[in-house]
Structure 1
Amino acid sequence: MFRRIGHAVVRHPIWTIVAWLIAAVAIVATAPSLPSNSDESSFLPKSYESIKAADLQERAFPSAFTPSAIALYQRTDGAALTAADKRDVSRITAELGEKHIDQVQKVVPGQPSKDGRYALTLVQMDSKNAGQPKQTEAAKTLRKEVKSLVAKGTHLDVRLGGSAAQAADQEDSSKRGQALIGIGTFVIILVTLLIIFRAPLLAVLPLVLIGLVSAVANGLIAYATKLFDLQANSSISSILIVVLFGVGTDYFLFLMFRYRERLRAGDEPKQAMVNAVDRVGEAIASAAGAVIIAFLALALSTLGFLKQMGPALAIAVAATLIAGLTLIPAVVSLIGPKVFWPSKSWQQEPRNARFAALGRGVQRRPALTAVASGLVLIVLSLGTLGFNATFDLASGSMPKTKESMVVQDRMQKAYSAGAAAPTDVYLSSTDGKPLDKAGFDAYAKKLGAVDGVASARLSQVNKEGTTADITVTLKYEASTDRAIDAVERVRDVAHANAPEGTEALVGGMSSIFKDIDSAVNHDYRTVFPVAAILIMVILGLLLRSVVAPWYLIASVGLGFGATLGATVWLFQVAQGHSGLMFMLPVIMYLFVVAIGTDYNILMIARLREEAREGRDPREAAGMALRHAGPTVAAAGFILAATFATMMLAGNSLLTEMGFAVSFGIAVAAFVMAMFFTPSLTALIGHAAWWPGHGDRAATQAPGTGTAADGSAAAPGDDGRGTVAHDPAGRRG
């Protein structure tokens, strides 16, 4: 199959390139715009309590709201507010409401702080558009207008915070981060390829081709998002850049290393590309298949942003795979060996002294290599025992100096930390009859006595008398671990003490974060095993074995554990962070488990190829490391360095993500693929390929040009199954 693809593309390179260009123009020109959503509550399905509570609030108390934006006032000299200052705040609040800013539904005064130094204006926005770009723009307008009003003859200073303002500040931070990530990615790929090949054209080529694939992938993602009514989270765009260019460069390298090898073995240039696609096409397709399946497994997630991220990244990898088997071979075959100009090193095989030595080490001492590399992974994995998740997405995705973060910090000090996002307990009648108001005070008192609660009071009862809203103010900021623990205790008390004939639902941001935590834990138990099983199926089909997939997926699992453990030790232990971003293990799973499998597949496929040429298991492992090692090292370095650019973004979320994924890719390439996997395969020997005989030398059926098992004759390009020898004396 892959040989036929190679033949078709190499025979018609111009038509292949033209087809890609036409498809790119058509898709980009007609694709819908990609929507975006940063509202945490939209992550969850409606079955969760926090979402049920939000729906009940809209029905029972349509005029009640959790402020989307909060204007925080204080005197410029830091003193307590005077009577004149308070009148100015009231006037500004009224004038702000009269401006009828888009998305703004209500502007009301808030409570002053107990020390008299701060006052508030609370702004309600359309809850249906929470997290949408239009509310981000509304927050920017609101910030500009309130500052303009304060500047007119007052002694006040004002800053705008709240979820909408945080989204606006996040957007500014993410634009800077995306620019740095994009520039860093380009520079790393360009410089590394220049060092490897010493050929300017070859260094620029993948950037141009993957840029074209990126445009196609983004258009297809937009189509899929609209077709399946998905919501794009703002973090996807940064990850998509890295995935496309990281994975695309991997596949480019897999193909170019094998193309160069075939040229050195004496193949005519066009035939060299056909043979390269034939030899490495199955490994690329299998690697991409494992990544796509792992990403699609996220469709089983209960979290909205993962449901969107999984299919989006799967589409990107699928487009990259097709380009790797068609567009890249077409362009390179059209250029020919001139693609390596001005370097002449492609004409003869280097000694690969380092990788040859590593290969000999694995060949001679596979047990020692397996134990040593396995111990490294196990020791690093011990750090996972200290993992703690944090849900403060706002402070995690932008610097503390951003205006909305300054507001959050000052409100925590001036008010109860939970005042900016209070928890609401909704007590509603199950039979439609009015509630007995006599028990409200006692119920609120029990809620107020919960550990971690600063106060609890009856706020309002709906006009039918069937639903009561008890506002519970926590002692802690809504996204902290202590607030999430406290809201769990509030739920227990609220449910246990709800009067007969009533139902209690607990809402608010802390409740949402609690449910997100439960959803993430559900996903760990569902998505991870399903993805692992499907990846094992891919490996089994590639290797025609039921043994090898087990230790390959086990090694990938160890790599995941080692990566999470190292990240915990660096950020939680060494730097004193309270926890890591809650979605980090899922992101690590996406890249360390899925993409890290690429290198295992490439190495094991090469090991099988060497074994089929008649080498015993240990020699095959040594030769596989010698010849596939440079490819894995180059691809692993570029991908790890590419993800490391995320650490330039300047916020803890992308810093943690950048370190974790780059470290995980490095472990996958330089520990698992180079040492752990080949040494284990060498130790297990022929049994690794049971029940098939994937490592047995193929025998040719007389006069057919094919092996007796029906597969294409492997080495030669003359159709007779002869074994070509390169100048270094190794088999082609």
Structure 2
Amino acid sequence: MLGLWVVVLALVGPFAAKLGDVQHDRATDYLPASADSTQAARIEEALPGGESTELVIVYHRDGGLSADDRQVAAGQIKDIAGAHELVGGAPEGVPSDDGTTLMYPVVSNEPGSDEKLRDAFVVDVRDVAGGQDGLSVEVGGTGALATDSGEVYDALGGPLLYTTVAVVALLLILIYRSPVLWLLPLITAGIADYLSMGVAYGLNQAFGTTISGQSSAVMTILVFGAGTDYALLLVSRYREELRRIERPYEAMVAALRGCGPAVLASSGTVAAGLLCLLAADLNSSRGMGPLGTVGVLCALIAMLTLLPAVLVLLGRRVFWPLVPAYGSEPKQRRSLFAAMGDSAGRRPLTVLATGAVLLGALALGSFSLPGPLKQQDTFVDKPEAVAAMETLGKAYPQSGTQPIDVVTPADGADRTLTAVRDTRGVESAEKGRTGDGWTEISVIAKGAPQSAEETATIKSLRGELKDSYVGGDSAQQIDLDDTNSRDTKIVVPLVLVSVLLILCGLLRSLVAPLILVAAVVAVWGAALGIGGLVFGPVLGFEGTDPGLGLLSFVFLVALGVDYGIFLMHRMREESLAGTEPAAAALTALRTTGGVIASAGLVLAATFAVLMNMGLVQLVELGFVIAVGVLLDTFLVRTYLVTSASVALGRKMWWPGGLSRGPAPGAGPSEPTEPPRQPEQVGAP
């Protein structure tokens, strides 16, 4: 097995190294596939010179610009026009009414669609446009914003990986309390991540799968989070079998036979839920589905093949200093989960009602979520492009400072230009590039960027211009909001149905899957509610990412059901062995509670790593999923699902055979109620 993995990594290595070459964070990589703004962006890329780079150079002095300030600004603009090919030559400055600000719109086709050339152009403009003696100079606009966004996404890879590895390593050391054992799941997860990078590159080359900074970051998180969860379950069962079976190889076979179905079902549920994102129209969401699935499946393969091989080769000594000797008995002591199970078993209906009320109350906080996230509010730390937009917003409060792009057939461009200028809310409109049967018209609205007035103008243009496409940053934001609403209505039912079908097949029941799915949906609502109480008042975020609801739902439902599978699979084993339903539920909680708690902590911590990144949408996604996983681990699985199982008894397994009693002679080969082994997971 180790030799096979060496061969696989040797074959995958060259492709994994190329993943960064196909990772892009262009507008078309995130926009809806069928939206007006996407079509406009694609046509603009094909126009002569490729996509235009639009900048706004903002000169500002609090007390008002002096004659020298204006002379400095004019000289710098002249230098920029001399060094680069600008559309229309050196632009004229647009002064603000209060005399504090001077704005120069700069448009160039020189970089084309090449992101590296665009970034170099922006950097060069910023080097030339410099402030002095109280005169501030900021370079903003769509081109500068794209460059600043790219820097944040480029910085995700290294810090994200290092932080994730450090967090998982710390938790594994605390869980295993062994100087060696914690390294094995971590190294295996790292190898699985490398494998996933190669497979992701292959998907891009074969099927054109979109690779963005966001989707590749989530793929890494899933590899380490889900992979470590599978490792925890496998190692826990392997340790248990080593006490009963002398040879490590045979103990591992028994461990894989015991926990393998649960791990396979768990990964299958996550993969099925993520693949439902293929039905989304939003490019970023649709691309995240296959990449997330690749991450989970690579983690599964590594943890069920490579990790067992290494554990068997190293033998019992890998657990040092807490080596599980053959025939030994673990220390007997009352566990936290035994106490929790007892309280749930004594008053199951009371616990259920209390938990439902608590989750419902927390979900009310979702009404406090900030409105849609505006483009300038997407960064945790404000870059120069956003600072320029804020300066423009204050200096030109009643006018647009961000162009709206209209792409129209060239043979009717003059008629379209007249119609655009006659549209309500339009300040000005000018024709730009023409090529390949299309003409670009640059429109400035009277309303401020992403204001209600500008939104009304864009919708009016789309209503009037039936044969044209309306794009630009503000139009893209409108399409993102609309498409996320559409995608939610389609993807959410698909996720629920696919997860239910897998659970029904695994548990041979209809009631148990419905309870598990209802529980994770309640957790999702509560996690969003906590986000509503934290994002604005505590973190100071000005908006909520439009895709937060859909993505957090997919991840929490798919990942949250994991722990339900671990618990219910053990509960089913106990019931098949003839244990009464209430006792089976409590035994399952005692024997799997520690593993589920450890796995939940690891998964929550890996998603919490996203909160350390520089983009608000990643911070919000990481927060909601981490909080949801913790709620699911320590409230829903331990108390609510166990209480529901005790209260329903055999009805939990309706209409399967277990609802009528265990089959004669059926049951697992291992003891039905092994004592808890606190050294395998630590005390949560």
When normalised by structure 1's length, the TM-score is 0.82
Rounded to whole Å, the distance in 1 between the matches of 2:237 and 2:521 is 29
Amino acid at match of 2:54: S
What is aligned with 1:374? 356
Q: Quick check: 1:93–1:109 contact (8 Å CA) kept in 2?
A: no
Cα deviations across residues 159-216 of structure 1 (Å, max 9, x unaligned)?
Answer: 4333333333334334555544333322332222222221111111111111111111
Moved more, 681-690 or 569-578: 569-578
Cα deviations across residues 687-722 of structure 1 (Å, max 9, x unaligned)?
Answer: 22122224754544xxxxxx5xxxxx6215xxxxxx
Cα deviations across residues 140-160 of structure 1 (Å, max 9, x unaligned)?
Answer: 423443355457999976443
What is aligned with 1:533? 497
Structure 1 residues 648-659: aligned runs within 5 Å: 648-659=612-623
Structure 1 residues 483-498: aligned runs within 5 Å: 483=451, 485-494=452-461
Cα deviations across residues 590-640 of structure 1 (Å, max 9, x unaligned)?
Answer: 321111111111011111112222221111111111111001111101111
Q: Quick check: 2:196–2:294 contact (8 Å CA) kept in 1?
A: yes
Offset at 1:322? 1.3
Q: 1:26 aligns with which of 2, 6, 11?
A: 11
User: Does the residue aligned with 2:391 lie in a helix, a strand or coil?
Assistant: helix
Offset at 1:517? 0.9
Q: Quick check: 1:255–1:276 contact (8 Å CA) kept in 2?
A: yes
Q: Quick check: 2:409–2:468 contact (8 Å CA) kept in 1?
A: yes
Moved more, 27-36 or 335-344: 27-36
Amino acid at match of 1:24: L
After superposition, the Cα gap between the structure-2 partners of 1:472 and 1:196, relative to the gap in structure 1 and judged at 3 Å, is same
Rounded to whole Å, the distance in 1 between the matches of 2:458 and 2:87 is 30
The alignment status of 1:85 with 2:72, answered yes or no, reads yes
The alignment status of 1:246 with 2:233, answered yes or no, reads no
Q: 2:106 aligns with which of 117, 122, 129?
A: 122
After superposition, the Cα gap between the structure-2 partners of 1:127 and 1:599, relative to the gap in structure 1 and judged at 3 Å, is farther
User: Does the residue aligned with 2:95 lie in a helix, a strand or coil?
Assistant: coil
Moved more, 106-115 or 307-316: 106-115
What is aligned with 2:27? 40
Q: Quick check: 1:85–1:155 contact (8 Å CA) kept in 2?
A: no
Rounded to whole Å, the distance in 2 between the matches of 1:544 and 1:207 is 34
Moved more, 152-161 or 188-197: 152-161
The alignment status of 1:413 with 2:390, answered yes or no, reads no
Offset at 1:233? 1.2
Moved more, 460-469 or 282-291: 460-469
What is aligned with 2:341? 359
Cα deviations across residues 268-296 of structure 1 (Å, max 9, x unaligned)?
Answer: 43222111111110000001000001111
Rounded to whole Å, the distance in 1 between the matches of 2:160 and 2:247 is 40
After superposition, the Cα gap between the structure-2 partners of 1:55 and 1:40, relative to the gap in structure 1 and judged at 3 Å, is closer
User: Does the residue aligned with 1:70 lie in a helix, a strand or coil?
Assistant: strand
What is aligned with 1:313? 292
Rounded to whole Å, the distance in 2 between the matches of 1:204 and 1:433 is 65
Moved more, 150-159 or 525-534: 150-159
Amino acid at match of 1:91: K
Cα deviations across residues 505-528 of structure 1 (Å, max 9, x unaligned)?
Answer: 543221221111111011100111
Aligned pair count? 667
Moved more, 461-470 or 627-636: 461-470
Q: 1:475 aligns with which of 439, 447, 452?
A: 447
Q: 2:199 aligns with which of 220, 227, 234?
A: 220
What is aligned with 1:4? none
Cα deviations across residues 651-705 of structure 1 (Å, max 9, x unaligned)?
Answer: 43332222211101101211221122222122222122122224754544xxxxx
Structure 1 residues 222-621: aligned runs within 5 Å: 222-265=201-244, 268-344=247-323, 348-350=329-331, 351-393=333-375, 395-400=377-382, 402-416=383-397, 419-424=400-405, 435=415, 444=421, 447-448=424-425, 455-460=426-431, 469=441, 471-478=443-450, 483=451, 485-494=452-461, 506-575=470-539, 577-621=541-585
After superposition, the Cα gap between the structure-2 partners of 1:418 and 1:227, relative to the gap in structure 1 and judged at 3 Å, is farther
User: Does the residue aligned with 2:9 lie in a helix, a strand or coil?
Assistant: helix
Moved more, 117-126 or 202-211: 117-126
User: Does the residue aligned with 2:611 lie in a helix, a strand or coil?
Assistant: helix
The alignment status of 1:622 with 2:586, answered yes or no, reads yes
Offset at 1:382? 1.7
Rounded to whole Å, the distance in 2 between the matches of 1:219 and 1:433 is 46
User: Does the residue aligned with 2:443 lie in a helix, a strand or coil?
Assistant: strand
After superposition, the Cα gap between the structure-2 partners of 1:672 and 1:724, relative to the gap in structure 1 and judged at 3 Å, is closer
Amino acid at match of 1:610: E
After superposition, the Cα gap between the structure-2 partners of 1:616 and 1:140, relative to the gap in structure 1 and judged at 3 Å, is same
What is aligned with 1:201? 180
Task: Provide structure 2 residue ranges, at least 5 long, that are not aligned to the other structure.
Answer: 678-684
Task: Provide structure 1 residue ranges, at least 5 long, that are not aligned to the other structure.
Answer: 1-15, 99-103, 449-454, 701-706, 708-712, 717-722
After superposition, the Cα gap between the structure-2 partners of 1:238 and 1:126, relative to the gap in structure 1 and judged at 3 Å, is farther
Cα deviations across residues 115-144 of structure 1 (Å, max 9, x unaligned)?
Answer: 264242513347973xxxx42x33442344
Q: Quick check: 2:405–2:440 contact (8 Å CA) kept in 1?
A: no
Q: Quick check: 1:495–1:503 contact (8 Å CA) kept in 2?
A: no
What is aligned with 2:56? 70
Amino acid at match of 2:84: G
Offset at 1:534? 0.5
What is aligned with 1:714? 668
After superposition, the Cα gap between the structure-2 partners of 1:325 and 1:352, relative to the gap in structure 1 and judged at 3 Å, is farther
Rounded to whole Å, the distance in 2 between the matches of 1:688 and 1:153 is 73
Rounded to whole Å, the distance in 1 between the matches of 2:29 and 2:256 is 44
Moved more, 113-122 or 214-223: 113-122
Rounded to whole Å, the distance in 2 between the matches of 1:581 and 1:178 is 21
Amino acid at match of 1:120: Y
Amino acid at match of 1:124: S
Moved more, 659-668 or 639-648: 639-648
Percent identical across equivalent pairs? 27
Q: Quick check: 1:269–1:333 contact (8 Å CA) kept in 2?
A: yes
Cα deviations across residues 338-392 of structure 1 (Å, max 9, x unaligned)?
Answer: 1111224785434242111112222222212222222222111122334455243
Q: Quick check: 1:217–1:315 contact (8 Å CA) kept in 2?
A: yes
Q: Quick check: 2:377–2:541 contact (8 Å CA) kept in 1?
A: no
Q: 1:138 aligns with which of 117, 122, 127?
A: 117
Rounded to whole Å, the distance in 2 between the matches of 1:160 and 1:331 is 55
Instruction: Please tell me the root mean square deviation across aligned C-alpha atoms, in Å.
Output: 3.5
After superposition, the Cα gap between the structure-2 partners of 1:249 and 1:125, relative to the gap in structure 1 and judged at 3 Å, is farther
Amino acid at match of 1:271: E
Cα deviations across residues 373-429 of structure 1 (Å, max 9, x unaligned)?
Answer: 2222211112233445524355423411x2222222222223357644223567879
What is aligned with 2:682? none
